[in-house]
Structure 1
Amino acid sequence: MIKRNILIASAFFSFSLGIAQQYGGMWIPTELNEKEMKDLGMKISAKDIFNTQKPSIKDAVVQFNGGCTAEIISPKGLLLTNHHCGYGQIQAHSTVQNDLLSNGFWAKNMETELPNPGVTVDFIVDIKEVTNQILEGTDKLQDQDLAKKIANNIEIYKNSQKTESYQSITVKPMYYGNKYYAYVIETYKDVRLVGAPPQSIGKFGSDTDNWVWPRHTGDFSMFRIYADKNNKPAEYSKDNVPYVPKHYLPVSIKDKTENDFTFVFGFPGKTTEYLPAIAVEKIMTEIDPARIAVRDVALKTLDEKMRTDDATRIKYASKYASVANYWKKWIGEVEGLKKSNAVQKKVMYEGSLVSKNHEVKATLDQLNKLYNDQAPFALNNAYYTEVVRNAESFALANMYSTHIASVESGKMDEKGLVAFKKKLTSFYKDYSAELDSKVTAKLLALYANKTAPQFLPEGFDKYKNEAQNIISFEEMSKNSVITGRNQVNGAALNGDIEKAFSNQDKLIKTIKKDPVYQLFMTIKDTYMKTADPQYTSLQAKIDVLQKTYMAQQMSTDKDRKFFPDANSTLRVTYGKVKGSTPRDAVSYDYQTHLAGVIEKYVPGDYEFDVPQKLIDLYNKKDYGMYKDKSGDVPVGFTATNHTTGGNSGSPALDAHGNLVGLNFDRQWEGTMSDINYDPRFSRNIMVDTKYILFIIDKFADSKWLIDEMKIVK
């Protein structure tokens, strides 16, 4: 239950209100808090950041492959993003014989850059508020009628706009549906890999250092955008030419000092800054701990195998990193919410709102009841979704379940079938049935032990013993078609997929009798009957009330300047270069250096090995123009920019709009900033441009890439 410690919360709330507004926020670039940015030290104008009438910084910032951010740093379409954002592409070009993950890759010229089918970059051409058009005629509507009317209005708006064949329009809700914005997007489809350091640099510190400061990771990779002869988007072709951008970012190698102004421009994924206290409490005490428990089991099992087998390490590298990323984030989030007294701050803020507007109390009372009613179903949802995601046998079974339902309802056409087979081929490429069998067996035991009895299939107690599960599930897996260890239509699904699908009726009948599939469907059917409808229904009611609560916050708190929660749309956040003191007697500087890489170096280690050439450069102090006033090469730095997932790869810019760093992470003590930004702990972590250029120039001997850039000294 929420402890209403008024004195502590009151003191903390006043502290936070005074500081958080100075640094927190993910602002729509057409609605920047320009005065505050300039007060903090920005020398350019808001029009230099986002302008549809002439080139501006927004023309150099793209969404990379639908998730991360990237930026253009040369007049020839050279693109910079994180190593972990390009990891899937680096992995796709890797084999045991030619391991680009371990060895790195550097094209010697444009002709040797590597194509990446399916990878896209999106430019934002324009942003317009369209609230009146989208909410027209919705005043008296509710539930499905309201959703249907809004969807219809969105389609009417999109159809009324003129766009090029390579452009699209998306309309996004803001402030929980109280406002709507339209984005004109231009998509380029020929994106080639130019360079990537070995993962001993690009992923240095790996999982141990993930979300941690001090950090010494060279988390960057380089791509290039190609276009047709008219500089327009085109599918991959050898005849395409490097894209000529409207704007590209100059790269600064000036020294940084504490309190320098910075801003980050990118596509943050999701935040929930305006939740009620009860929601934050549930996340902190129930939902996050459940997710952490599932991933903890999966990661430990994968890690045991990956450390001893190179083929498995390569096969599972990207998946492991994906699973580990939010596992560690959630651990930090729980600790940060507790340490920052997030629930108590929310309680006090709610009290201040109620004192100004008594209608807020009725909304909060309803929200409290709904969250408490939803709690058991939400907990089961957390366990179920995480188990299905991390037990690959069940993830496969779930995919086949959806496919079978589509076929049997007559909704599966040839295009859908081709897409499904392509999805399966991609999944099986990096799949080990033997390893998955062990992971799934352990997660079965966790699910059986952690889930309340009313949400479990009858007789599920037999899966509580992990050791027994490992034996029994391995037998199931060996006899399974969907794991690829048994055949259908004379072929394995992870081998000749076309032959396996040659008789789809037989395939479906075989899958329905598959032991792994049947076990999964028992779990899924029980979840769909006992938890999902209740969870979904209550969430729909919560969402309606959250929209009301958001509107009440904005209309009641006249002293607060509100920004919309992140939703993968283009945003600007700003702050200052700064260290931190996250715990008693612990103080972090804002900058790390190459010397710190060498201090952490452990020969042959999975996470902390480094290439001999980097050691040689360090020993010779062969730093060129990339050292700072300390005489060492700066590697990373922290600032108070309010970032989240999706900001990976975002440019960190100085007061003049020059690139000074590449955002790639947050400090572990501040990962709760998605829910509760706290200026004392919330720090984003960036690779210093000096280190990036040092690696490209001195380590990779790729000065031809440096020569493309505009270097600000």
Structure 2
Amino acid sequence: MIRKIKLLLLLSVFAIGTAVADEGMWLPSLIHKLNINTMQQMGCELSADDIYSINHSSLKDAIVALDHGSCTAEVVSKDGLLLTNHHCGFGEIQQHSSVEHDYLEDGFWAMSREEELPNPGKTVTFLISVEDVTAKVLENVNDDMTEEERNKAVRKTLDQLTKEAKGDSHYEVYARDFFNSNQYFVFVTETFRDVRLVGAPPQALGKFGGDTDNWMWPRHTNDFSMFRIYCGPDGLPADYSKDNVPYQPKHSLPISLKGVKEGDFAMVFGYPGSTSRYKTSYGIDYTMKVTNTARVEVREKKLDIISEYMASSQKAKIQYASKHARSANYYKNAIGMNEALTKLKVIDQKKALEDEFTAWVNADQARKAKYGEALGLIENYYSDVENDKAREFMTEALLRGPEIFTFAYRVKPMVEMLKDPESNKDRIERYAEFLKIMADDFFKDYDASTDEKVSAALMKIYAQETKPALQPTCYQEIQKKYKGDYEKFAAQMFNKTVFDNKEEYLAFLDNPSPKVLEKDLAFQTAVQIYEKYNEIRNLVDARSDILEKGERLFVAGLMEMQPNKKFYPDANSTMRLTYGKVLDYDPRDGVTYKYYTTTDGYLEKEIPGDYEFNVPARMKELLLAKDFGQYADADGKLHACFITNNDITGGNSGSPVINGKGELIGVAFDGNWEAMSGDLAFEENLQRCINVDIRFVLWVIDVYAGADHLIDEMQIIR
């Protein structure tokens, strides 16, 4: 999206209908030009330099990307203490859990630094600096280039710029394109690799309401967990070591106990993952009919099978808790998105904008020459999406569905090595050791009989949704030898594999043989699946230039057509700031949702013994006693959650909600059902960010858990 490419600093807020200050995921490095005056008028008492600076500590230095952007977290003490969502730490909580120590059920609290639990592979990343390199990149492209030539020239320049920015430092440097490859920035970051679990409430608090309440308001969830960043004695990132020390951050967020009231200024800092606000009516139609349909159809079947297994024992529930949560989250999101897009008539709104664009383009010959083909290219691309549909269903049903295929495919590099075992002896041994390390985590949370059921059900769905030419070769055998019975095929596949049993798998790695792999039905099926996937992906990529060029020209034209608007870039897992207010909303006629909930609602929702709505006895006792102390609101109640009209999406989970003074007032954890169209179209009257009140978080840490030592290391503003 861009207008005359070199005028890109005119970045502006574009949305269907009116553009409002609360909409937009803004680059913090540009708010001094675009947003700070509006923010201050709304109640922000900070300067742009207080929010983003590369010369001194600022708010950005307290915000981190968890695991390179899957979630966000914030630093809340001078000893590197982190606060994020419970579901952002769910995987680690689950990994540390066992039947003997069920931290999902009971919660976990490290009462000393020595008790904090390491998490190999978990990372936190700080943003060091951002540089706009658009002018340098676009010097090397012109309108006569094909998309392939243009992309090659852009990549060459970006490779050079990122190399220069990194120098001999330990920093990571990467580039991102914005506005559909019309603008470019280089990001310098620092990643810490020793991140330890400090605390988490029981799942009955941290995930109260479960899948039923997911994406819904009102909420009563205490959705948080705590980690700590460790570094080497020199203050630099280091792998886990007992000699590491707590990291001393450049900035940590003070925490306000003053609460919020309607109309208060609020900003959210974080790493939103992906939005497509500039997608055309053609793209939205595809998302609804293909992407979301594939997600719902496949995950519904998978979740049914997993849920049945989880109900069989406590061990099963622990094993599959994280897997179920990951799959269920965007299953429900896809349902809600389609409902919201339909209800809000987003496709009709997009078509109206496209008609306006077409009229504007056709009114001037120069514009027609430059932008006239944009919408035609996009329409042409979406007129033939059979391959795209196959890719979507294969990703959901075969790559993200059964676990055995991706697990077995990891052994594929060994095939070439084993053709000359003597020459490759050292490589084979090293790779086998690497695979053994991964095996422990895989089999700890794996049930072969459940995966067999998932495999049969999802392979069948893929067959039903695609034509034979787009199916892996094993599908021909299933039709001929097994008469189309996927359950029989899956049973045979799991009977003839070493990849569903830890002992057999480790025995194979001790003495890897190509004959074993040749006869292993799961491995051969996995290879065929990935071969077909790569074939389909190549077919899709062969036409991608059509869509890329069309969308690039369309957005460039939009910005030229609306020169007085502030355009903001789509989310792409880079740090963003959004600002707005604490506000209630009217979801439907005759109904108003107020902006906060209290723990009264937590008790009102109780269903004793229920997986989603159980209230632990200790929690109930404390809440009924109403001993809320310094964490009570002025009304004497303990507030649970509140909503703002901040613009967020996936990746913002765990983001800090900050008041006008730069103090932490809550932790963002969800969006609302009525505005599930938000990734594609911002709905200014309905879109809300759901946050856990920081006072509820601190009350649980202090009173429920008795971990007042954690409170002591925070800066509390009373």
TM (norm. structure 2) is 0.90
CA change 1:613–1:448 in 2 (3 A) is same
Matching residue's letter, 2:302: A
Q: Establish whether residue 447 from structure 1 lines up as the match of residue 453 from structure 2.
A: no
Q: What pairs with 1:22-33 in structure 2 (closer than 5 Å)?
A: 22-32=21-31, 33=35
**Secondary structure of residue in 1 paired with 2:53:** coil
Give distance in 2, aligned partners of 1:249 and 1:592. Answer: 24
Q: Establish whether residue 653 from structure 1 lines up as the match of residue 652 from structure 2.
A: no
Tell me how far 1:337 sits from its aligned partner: 0.9
Tell me how far 1:556 sits from its aligned partner: 2.1
Instruction: Give per-residue Cα distances to partners, 1:275-324, cap 9 Å, x unaligned.
Output: 11110111112321122100000001100110222111111111111111
Tell me how far 1:637 sits from its aligned partner: 1.2
CA change 1:39–1:361 in 2 (3 A) is farther
Q: Establish whether residue 431 from structure 1 lines up as the match of residue 446 from structure 2.
A: yes
CA change 1:592–1:152 in 2 (3 A) is same
Give distance in 2, aligned partners of 1:465 and 1:299. Answer: 27
Tell me how far 1:233 sits from its aligned partner: 2.3
CA change 1:171–1:525 in 2 (3 A) is closer
**Secondary structure of residue in 2 paired with 1:644:** coil
Of the structure 1 ranges 168-177 and 653-662, higher mean CA displacement relative to structure 2 is found in 168-177
CA contact (8 A) 2:666 2:691 kept: yes
Q: Share of identical aligned residues, percent?
A: 38
**Match in the other structure for 1:517:** 523
Q: 1:39 aligns with which of 38, 41, 48?
A: 41
Q: Establish whether residue 554 from structure 1 lines up as the match of residue 559 from structure 2.
A: yes
**Match in the other structure for 2:510:** 502
**Secondary structure of residue in 1 paired with 2:279:** coil
Tell me how far 1:463 sits from its aligned partner: 11
Tell me how far 1:407 sits from its aligned partner: 7.3
Instruction: Give per-residue Cα distances to partners, 1:551-577, cap 9 Å, x unaligned.
Output: 222222213211111111010011111
CA change 1:402–1:147 in 2 (3 A) is farther
Stretches of structure 1 lacking an aligned partner (at least 5 in a row): 1-13, 486-490
CA change 1:418–1:543 in 2 (3 A) is farther
Q: Establish whether residue 338 from structure 1 lines up as the match of residue 346 from structure 2.
A: no
**Match in the other structure for 2:257:** 253
Give distance in 2, aligned partners of 1:132 and 1:470. Answer: 58
Q: Establish whether residue 477 from structure 1 lines up as the match of residue 494 from structure 2.
A: yes
CA contact (8 A) 2:16 2:353 kept: no
Q: 1:189 aligns with which of 185, 190, 193?
A: 193
CA contact (8 A) 1:291 1:327 kept: yes
Give distance in 1, aligned partners of 2:586 and 2:232. Answer: 51
Tell me how far 1:177 sits from its aligned partner: 1.5
Instruction: Give per-residue Cα distances to partners, 1:689-709, cap 9 Å, x unaligned.
Output: 010001001100111111111
**Match in the other structure for 1:616:** 621
CA contact (8 A) 2:85 2:653 kept: yes
Instruction: Give per-residue Cα distances to partners, 1:131-163, cap 9 Å, x unaligned.
Output: 233344233543444333333322222232355
Q: Establish whether residue 687 from structure 1 lines up as the match of residue 692 from structure 2.
A: yes
Instruction: Give per-residue Cα distances to partners, 1:90-148, cap 9 Å, x unaligned.
Output: 12211111111111111112222122222221111111111233344233543444333
**Secondary structure of residue in 1 paired with 2:189:** strand
Give distance in 1, aligned partners of 2:511 and 2:319. Answer: 30
Matching residue's letter, 2:49: K
CA contact (8 A) 2:417 2:427 kept: no
Instruction: Give per-residue Cα distances to partners, 1:372-423, cap 9 Å, x unaligned.
Output: 12x2222222111101111223333444446647877999956666545444
Q: 1:272 aligns with which of 260, 272, 276?
A: 276
Tell me how far 1:361 sits from its aligned partner: 4.4
Give distance in 2, aligned partners of 1:570 and 1:465. Answer: 52
**Match in the other structure for 1:586:** 591
**Match in the other structure for 2:137:** 134
Matching residue's letter, 1:103: D
CA contact (8 A) 2:15 2:681 kept: no
CA change 1:397–1:285 in 2 (3 A) is same
Tell me how far 1:460 sits from its aligned partner: 5.3
Give distance in 2, aligned partners of 1:371 and 1:72. Answer: 44
**Match in the other structure for 1:65:** 67
**Match in the other structure for 2:20:** 21
**Secondary structure of residue in 2 paired with 1:23:** coil
Q: Establish whether residue 362 from structure 1 lines up as the match of residue 365 from structure 2.
A: no
Give distance in 2, aligned partners of 1:465 and 1:34. Answer: 66
Q: Establish whether residue 575 from structure 1 lines up as the match of residue 585 from structure 2.
A: no
Of the structure 1 ranges 418-427 and 563-572, higher mean CA displacement relative to structure 2 is found in 418-427
Q: Establish whether residue 91 from structure 1 lines up as the match of residue 94 from structure 2.
A: yes
Matching residue's letter, 2:510: S
Q: What pairs with 1:373-392 in structure 2 (closer than 5 Å)?
A: 373=384, 375-388=385-398, 389-392=400-403
CA change 1:143–1:16 in 2 (3 A) is closer
CA contact (8 A) 1:69 1:81 kept: yes
CA change 1:428–1:596 in 2 (3 A) is same
CA change 1:107–1:509 in 2 (3 A) is same
**Match in the other structure for 2:607:** 602
Give distance in 2, aligned partners of 1:525 and 1:134. Answer: 35
Give distance in 2, aligned partners of 1:653 and 1:180. Answer: 28
**Secondary structure of residue in 1 paired with 2:140:** coil
RMSD between aligned alpha carbons? 2.5
**Match in the other structure for 2:79:** 76
CA contact (8 A) 1:463 1:469 kept: no
Q: What pairs with 1:90-489 in structure 2 (closer than 5 Å)?
A: 90-139=93-142, 140-161=144-165, 165-358=169-362, 359=368, 360-373=371-384, 375-388=385-398, 389-401=400-412, 404=415, 419-456=434-471, 457-458=475-476, 468-484=485-501
CA change 1:248–1:552 in 2 (3 A) is same
Give distance in 2, aligned partners of 1:159 and 1:524. Answer: 33
Tell me how far 1:437 sits from its aligned partner: 0.6
CA contact (8 A) 1:261 1:577 kept: yes
**Secondary structure of residue in 1 paired with 2:373:** helix
CA contact (8 A) 1:445 1:465 kept: no
Give distance in 2, aligned partners of 1:244 and 1:63. Answer: 17
CA change 1:403–1:677 in 2 (3 A) is farther
Give distance in 2, aligned partners of 1:205 and 1:262. Answer: 26
Give distance in 2, aligned partners of 1:528 and 1:117. Answer: 31
CA contact (8 A) 2:218 2:593 kept: yes
Of the structure 1 ranges 353-362 and 618-627, higher mean CA displacement relative to structure 2 is found in 353-362
Of the structure 1 ranges 510-519 and 359-368, higher mean CA displacement relative to structure 2 is found in 510-519
Matching residue's letter, 2:94: Q
Tell me how far 1:585 sits from its aligned partner: 3.4
Give distance in 1, aligned partners of 2:235 and 2:594. Answer: 44
Tell me how far 1:532 sits from its aligned partner: 3.4
CA contact (8 A) 2:408 2:526 kept: yes
Give distance in 2, aligned partners of 1:365 and 1:535. Answer: 18
CA contact (8 A) 1:448 1:461 kept: no
Tell me how far 1:42 sits from its aligned partner: 1.6
Give distance in 2, aligned partners of 1:635 and 1:224. Answer: 24
**Secondary structure of residue in 1 paired with 2:20:** helix
**Secondary structure of residue in 2 paired with 1:154:** helix
Give distance in 2, aligned partners of 1:430 and 1:276. Answer: 41
Give distance in 1, aligned partners of 2:453 and 2:166. Answer: 54
CA contact (8 A) 1:449 1:464 kept: no
Give distance in 2, aligned partners of 1:463 and 1:669. Answer: 49
CA change 1:353–1:144 in 2 (3 A) is closer
Give distance in 2, aligned partners of 1:698 and 1:544. Answer: 57
Tell me how far 1:519 sits from its aligned partner: 3.9
Give distance in 2, aligned partners of 1:408 and 1:34. Answer: 63
Q: How many residues align?
A: 685
Give distance in 2, aligned partners of 1:565 and 1:226. Answer: 33
